[in-house]
Structure 1
């Protein structure tokens, strides 16, 4: 994904008299065609919406900063191949404008479009120091996206004031809300089933093709999908992007490949050969990862837990070969199938990927899309990746107190 010009607006302070700053980078000929007035109006609306959410939960003194920008990005196939004109789904729809230099996706000429990026930072005042929260969205209509996430954001604001740090390690039942589950799936399955990682460690660590890894309710795919911002028509090698089954009814069913790994391992090319701007190396990378909705109402996941944690919000995660970590914003204790109102924060979910996946019990019916502005790093390259997942419940995960200084 090549990055071109950027026009952004930052709004801070009270809604009545907000401070507005603007920034523009890149060449004039690559500048997004929509003028700064529309970006400014969107930034003001996002800022006002975030302040309204904070005020509704009694955090009117919270500092809110909203940044909205429109970036010209282009997708370029690196080889001589040209992406096919049938099948697949065209790239994401952040703003709707796109320009093709040759009328055909792929090839040597880039396919350009406009990516709308929104970041909201909320500093919640606490007796010690302010606790920062971050909400982000890449794609069209960030105001509507923020409103749909209002309950999640409000919960994080409340927890910033009411939650106490987790004091001791807990191993037991855990329910992940969708915004946490997306990071769990990204780290445990997404990275492991990228073809180079599959060859290096995943196949021998319990994720070999044909292996049962979890409940039959788990089905995972990667590839073009409506609503996922990082969908594209063809990858950086000119291969048509396909909806690739990774896990089918709890069994490992596929691997995401680039041309080199497909040839090396005798696997089909799936259209996952990607590289970041300025990089020469194409790698097998996730694009638009999604978990199919299950049949269990999300409330039933909590009702089935005698004692455990319900994890909400997310700061992200990471993985090194067989090990993973996911950092929720906070969690609420569950007792006898009921939420207790007792909140904890500064916690990490850690463990071995395959062991955690085998503890998956239920997949709920409440999928949520996560289109982050910040990217996913691999071997020095950072690329945007979208993820969609419903809530998930696990019989046994390990949650540990977060050590050392951190944003949350």
Structure 2
């Protein structure tokens, strides 16, 4: 069928044949289907959706539009984790060495920050010398020999997704559930993994604001995984406030290392343990979640997890001394505090507002070509449910340039809500799906 006929069929709610979907994606990747026709198709999908057969065909076509890495020479079940994005979400930095230290091979292709959310690539690149632009041959070698490798997306992996994402970004079709799910899964399955754990964030700092939307996205991605013959488990986790106490690239690296030493905030530690335990079960290294958590806690207690992180850093060109000496990481020249306007408790935090304040400070990108400052960010001295007195610091701002600081402090104060009573605690892991 011609692109016009496919667009018309989907617009009218008809099903598309898998071979037609493949031909359309291939032609768009090759440049023979123009952006304006693919824009029309994305809008048709936005309103009409894709049924499971169409969704599987769409995701497979995007996956096979580029290189699909082969890790068959690495023994064991290869498992990765994907987060849908949040504020203060440095889980991958600690989870990857934890799982690798427990014997699970972890191939991980990570992304940069998107909108108000931080990216694993930006965090890791704050480690002096750390490289994520490794060739795929080196990626395969490190997964096999070190047990883990973390790289950024290459031009050869899922090129259809790269073109399609840029198009969706300017045609108001980013929020389409099947297009989100196929975008994520096409990149993840190209890594050469056998299984995947999904961390689907839900709340004010997530792209999915409600549990219902997060659940639908998780189930859609699990369905794609099943069609591709991959085991996929999903945890819906809370993002109604930033995860941990730090927001900002080098600051989050420090907190991630502290988690490997057993000294991180309880919420960040719990989410990391829960996701890593799922990886161990999928990877066949534990028979149950309880056993898996015990194994993870053991490699924290005996120092093996920190040793594995140093090994990963050294293998990827970074300075492993920075894992022990935080003074080798980027640091700001100045700090200033945001103080509470009244006595009471922190009752809520607009987490997206905190993320946008971090972007305004220079910790994230306002445009694709923006240069980030790896040192800047925030330390959250008070979080939801914690008491505070008038004039007491609630957020410490780490900055280099004074220019954005007043705006950033105004944003942060607006993001915090205070009241006379502490709210009931929310569960960190909202739901588990498989």
Q: Give the TM-score normalised by structure 1.
A: 0.28
- Greater share of strand: 1
- Greater share of helix: 2
Q: Give the TM-score normalised by structure 2.
A: 0.27
